[in-house]
Amino acid sequence: MMPPSLNFGLLLFPDVTQLDLTGPYEVLARVPGASLHLLWKDRTPVRSDMGLSILPTTTLADCPVLDLLLVPGGPGVHALMVDELVLDFIAGRASSVRWLVGICTGTLVLGAAGLLQGRRAGTHWNSRHYLPRFGAEPSDRRVEVDGALFTGGGVTAGIDVALRVAAEIGGDELAQLIQLGIEYDPEPPFDAGTPGKAGEALTNRLLSRMAPRMAERDAAVEAATRRLARDAERAGRPVSNAAQSPLDSIDPFP
């Protein structure tokens, strides 16, 4: 029997962190029956935050009906959090997809689209404190699952999140086959992948280097939460429910 046809949309945007995108891509592309679409406003090459050019395959306007929508992270999320076209696209698709996925700081974009209210969600450790601004309960788990919403920690966690999604779609054995096929068996040469493991001195050194980017993120989150409050007032909803999530009505496995 042929596997069911599935459409997976992965958002692509300028200054994306490519591993947030390509790590999950490598996993999800191995799900039987899956067609993957790299989505952006046009089909011109998009440069990642480190200068790698990636070619979109489908525009937002031409995007087919999706079973899964994934939003990766990177410095480019600052612009996305105030991009009406992109946010409307994400919010519009969220009510019909079976799986909604946020990788790293891509979770903040889901928040800006009004999709995190009352949800448990994860993101990069340096941005977890923003999640309550979008009505979310922050999670420090590497992979967090809340109904149809799959999120996780920073960058490399995208592979783990995608494996969890693959297991939900096709069962644990499928995810294990994919894991074996890509030989995902990490043994990092150093044990400094979280602030707790890295220690205070190393963590503070990195935060100091990231200060300009975090200032930009502060401003983007502030602008995004103002937009949600404004939209709530226009719709006559209480501001506290500005980010009421369409995911509340989704059965992730119909």
CB-CB contact of 107 with 125 (8 Å): no
Which segments within 17-98 are labelled E, that is strand? 34-40, 46-47, 53-54, 58-59, 68-71
SS (H, E, C) 145-213: EECCEEEECCCCHHHHHHHHHHHHHHCHHHHHHHHHHCCCCCCCCCCCCCHHHHCHHHHHHHHHHCHHH
**Each residue's pLDDT tens digit, 105-114:** 999 999 999 9
Report whether 54 contacts 114 (CB < 8 A).
no
As for how many domains the chain has, the answer is 1
User: What's the pLDDT tens digit per position in 207-240?
Assistant: 999 999 999 999 999 999 999 999 989 888 765 4
Between β-strands 6-11 and 120-121, what pairing exists: parallel, antiparallel or unpaired? unpaired
Through-space distance between the first and last CA atoms of the chain, rounded to whole angstroms: 20
pLDDT at 1: 53
Catalytic, out of 31, 36, 103, 104: 104
Residue 10 falls inside a structural domain: yes
Q: Is residue 254 part of a domain?
A: no
Is 104 annotated as catalytic? yes
For residues 242 and 232, give the distance between their C-alpha atoms in angstroms, rounded to a whole number. 5
Tokens of 95: 């009510």
Residues 72 and 5: beta-carbon distance below 8 Å: no
Encode pLDDT of 184-212 as tens digits.
999 999 999 999 999 999 999 999 999 99
pTM tops 0.85, yes or no: yes
Write the CB contacts of 49 (distance below 8 Å, at least 6 apart in sequence): 15, 16, 17, 18, 74, 75, 76
pLDDT band, very low/low/confident/very high, at 95 (cuts 50, 70, 90): very high
Domain assignment present for 68:
yes
User: Is 129 inside a domain boundary?
Assistant: yes
Q: Is residue 53 part of a domain?
A: yes
| Cα separation, 237 vs 218, whole angstroms | 25
Q: Could you tell me the residue range of the domain that residue 138 belongs to?
A: 6-249
- Give the domain CATH number at 151: 3.40.50.880
Domain membership of residue 1 (yes or no) is no
Quickly count: other Cβ atoms within 10 Å of residue 201's Cβ. Answer: 7
